Amino acid sequence: MSLAVEPCRSVSAVFWDSIETVLLDMDGTLLDLSFDNDFWGRAIPEHYATIHHISHEEAASRLNSIFAAESGRLNWYCLDFWSATLGFDVAQLKRTLAHGIAWRPEAERFLKQLSASHCDVVLITNAHPETLKIKLERVMLTPWFDRVVSSHEYGVPKENNVFWQRLQENHAFNPTKTLFIDDSEPVLDAAHDYGIQHLISLRQPDSRQPPKTDTRYPAILHFDEISKGLPAL
């Protein structure tokens, strides 16, 4: 079920005493989405045009139709699928551009505070395992998490209700005492439908894009807006 779009509702506070589990997305939540948007919006079409000897415009046209067909499916996040479909090693191209991977503001500090709290902190991402490996080589994420889960382990993306069922089976949590933060509203919709009570979105997942002015979920610009009540560093 989708909620109505409305002007961004700020999050005045999180009552941390009522939260047992914190589920966090990676791209666009902890890491700046500008890397991924540039990779798929510029680097992939440029490389595709070069190896197939076509114009950038023709490459973009071909790719847009393929991207649209896979949006919201696990293939959209699968580097193996894209390498086979596009005819080149997508993981290798991503690795050569990995210097562009960066934290979102306040994200690392927020993770350190969560790690020192009573909460069970879990990274849940649609990123392909190879993408996850590349990004973890650039930013120190894993020390702050109790578990790291890629949706590829379950064979379905976070947009699918089956993901949440399998997450519950493998890492039990109480939906009414769980906070989930993700920049993707379709993913938040799936979490909402599953019964997760505390949901927060991001107003500016990509630092090169202006902040959103409307969302379907309460949204924050930076994590310091909700860190009050967590252990001070």
From the number of C-beta atoms within 10 Å of its C-beta (0-12, 13-18, 19+), residue 143 rates as exposed
Q: How far apart are CA 80 and CA 55, in angstroms?
A: 25
- pLDDT at position 3, please? 53
Share of the chain above pLDDT 70, in %: 95
CATH topology of domain 6-33+103-225: Rossmann fold (3.40.50)
* pLDDT tier for residue 167 given thresholds of 50, 70 and 90: very high
pLDDT digits (tens, 9 = 90+) for 171-214: 999 999 999 999 999 999 999 999 999 999 999 999 999 999 99
From the list 135, 137, 150, 144, the residue with the least C-alpha distance to 101 is 135
Indicate whether this model's pTM tops 0.85: yes
Domain boundaries, the chain: 6-33+103-225, 35-99
Residue type present at position 200: I
Residues 35 and 100: beta-carbon distance below 8 Å: yes
